[in-house]
Chain A
């Protein structure tokens, strides 16, 4: 089993860039794809990055994903922050040892 650990909250100013980390507790972050979801208050989640760094159609190129084997973590970066980016963000990956899709605990992004 592994866990995905995210910071509880991050904040940044409009127009700036923010990075949200997702650290895998055991096993290699590169072993399985990481996906990222955005959830605005009162709404269903929407996918913003899939398979580590792929952006679904309709998601602005201000959103990008990466993985870093040295820190065993994935990262979601949002540039040119807008107030509409204020939301909870969740990372997710697959645990092949337990046949389980694992979510991180979520990060609340505040744009102020």
Chain B
């Protein structure tokens, strides 16, 4: 357990439905990242936040995707009008500038992921 939690762990939905995932990062971490991992591939960067500001979005993040981190703590990733191609594992990671305890500085710690299946 890295200290990063994601909810739900699994989601099955029908094409066209909206889904929302939540990520709770390590509490003292100011950076939060979202990645998508499809079968047989490494994770691909989607977007990241520093505190509540969304600083970068990948071209993979179409207009149907939106991410928020309203108070600089937890984050949500919403997919509207889901498509079968959205089926993947969605990973969240957090990092902090200062290392503390078992957490190393500027190192991303990953949550367990949310596995999405769009039927």
A and B bind: no
| Interface residues, chain A, with chain B CB atoms under 8 Å away | none
| Interface residues, chain B, with chain A CB atoms under 8 Å away | none
